[in-house]
Amino acid sequence: MAQTVDGRKKISEKFIYFFGAFGGILFGYDIGVMTGALPFLQHDWNLEGHATTIGWITSGVMFGAIFGGATAGMLSDRLGRRKMILASAVIFVVGSIACGIVPNNGTGWLIAMRIFLGIAVGAASALVPAYMSEIAPARLRGNLSGLNQTMIVSGMLISYIVDYLLKGLPHQYAWRLMLAAAAIPALILFLGVLRLPESPRFLIHHGNVEEARHVLSMIRPADQVEAEINEITTTASEEAENQRKVSWGTLFSPRYRYLVIAGIGVAAFQQFQGANAIFYYIPLIVEKATGQAAGEALMWPIIQGVILVLGSLLFIAIAEKFNRKTLIMMGGTVMALSFILPAVINMVMPNAHPMMIVVFLSLYVAFYSFTWAPLTWVIVGEIFPLAIRGRASGIASSFNWIGSFLVGLVFPIMTAKMSQELVFFIFGVICVLGVLFVKFMVPETRGHSLEDIEEAAVRRSLGK
């Protein structure tokens, strides 16, 4: 790293880029790791038949994330983006280790630690992309945004591989090491962000222009510093003015109601369509379908993880070649059929091969990976006008986490009371409703400016 004039070290773009990616990897790892740990935990603590307990242990992270995501943004506005990311990494480390050393049969303790860990998951999911978009050069911001989904699913894939590598250990050790291993990427993230400066945008927002100038001198060519200072100052003033004018009630005024409902609806449908039921419980799904022990079915999460990564790369390649609504409706249609057809086939052919449902679930994951998974956040990022973007995006994110939590909680309860085919049939119907919602309630955002989208929404609201 070269020295600047005032003695501070330059920070390379690759260093910034790496830790922008690493935040997503950590986020994905902690979401995916319970998939492989759960079968061993079930066996160790004799949790078979305790569907509600299994649901809470699995979904506790998402429950904590609802609050972590909501509070992290507010605290980061007061304390700084970097400090809050470091605090989140510490919670990751402590929470991961705590999950690995819980007392035997301490289900309440494990659920509490999973919720505690979820606070960091929610915070990291909100803070790391925001921080990186503020500190990275403008020409890299689009790449960081496009790669975020790839890094999250890569983190999930890494967790599945770690689970598979540890499956040969005795049950009482395997799940503990799987959960505790999340502390390693969290520690790497902490050490990496420790070397990064505070966001220049945060510094200017708090009146510390000189320190922002020092930070920019570390990460930008000298001839770009003053221009970016002026740009950030202007944007910060506009946002402050918007915040004074906008209340929560403004979101549902005739001017914005249509767009707010559209954005929140897409974010909610992404989770209520049941994707996380597959990601969290695929070994148990295979066990119930085939009778194969869940602990021996850990290759299936890896297969799902590979499909997710390949799908995210496919999305990057085709994202700007097709309209948002075309892709997401096509994906939702195939996802619906992937859930509905196994139930129909099972009714017509009761002796159909039990692995049929797993094949259809893999087809679901393939289409989800390059449609609903990334496009939800593309649409949420494009649909809200600047005046309400902060509040509206926060609500959309909260509904997404609530959906993730509820699916993780109720899926084992539902499968304990009805067949897997019927449960997925219900999710398939929700997929159909999601397609209809997008068709009739969501505007096309590709190639349209925020002003064009807002104007069209106003005309729709006023019936013009």
In the chain the domains, ranked by start, together with CATH numbers, are 11-196 (1.20.1250.20), 247-464 (1.20.1250.20)
Q: What is the pLDDT of residue 272?
A: 96
Provide the whole-model pTM.
0.86
Q: What is the pLDDT of residue 241?
A: 67
Tell me the chain's radius of gyration from C-alpha atoms. 23
Contacts of 463 (CB under 8 A, 6+ apart): none
Q: How many residues belong to the chain?
A: 464
Can you name the residues that pair with 9 across neighbouring β-strands?
A: 3
Q: What is the pLDDT of residue 242?
A: 64
Interval 292-308 mean pLDDT: 86
The answer to whether 354 and 290 have CB atoms below 8 angstroms apart is yes
Interval 393-411 mean pLDDT: 91
Q: What is the pLDDT of residue 379?
A: 87
Q: What is the pLDDT of residue 140?
A: 61
Interval 126-133 mean pLDDT: 77
The answer to whether 339 and 425 have CB atoms below 8 angstroms apart is yes
- Average pLDDT over the chain, rounded to whole? 86
Q: Residue type at 180? A: A
Q: What is the pLDDT of residue 320?
A: 78
Lowest mean pLDDT among 56-60, 235-239, 425-429: 235-239
Q: What is the pLDDT of residue 441?
A: 93
Interval 52-81 mean pLDDT: 87
Interval 115-127 mean pLDDT: 88
Interval 75-92 mean pLDDT: 88
| Per-residue confidence band for 45, with pLDDT thresholds at 50, 70 and 90 | very high
Q: What is the pLDDT of residue 247?
A: 74
Tens-place pLDDT, residues 356-388: 888 999 999 999 999 999 899 888 878 887 677
Interval 246-259 mean pLDDT: 81
Q: What is the pLDDT of residue 130?
A: 75
296: left (phi over 0), alpha (psi -120 to 50) or beta: alpha
Measuring CA to CA, which residue among 452, 428, 417 is closest to residue 51? Answer: 417
Q: Is residue 462 pLDDT above 80, yes or no? A: no
| Per-residue confidence band for 429, with pLDDT thresholds at 50, 70 and 90 | very high
Q: What is the pLDDT of residue 464?
A: 55
Distance CA 60, CA 397 (A): 17
Neighbours of 166 (CB within 10 A): 19
Q: Is residue 167 pLDDT above 80, yes or no? A: yes
Q: What is the pLDDT of residue 4?
A: 45
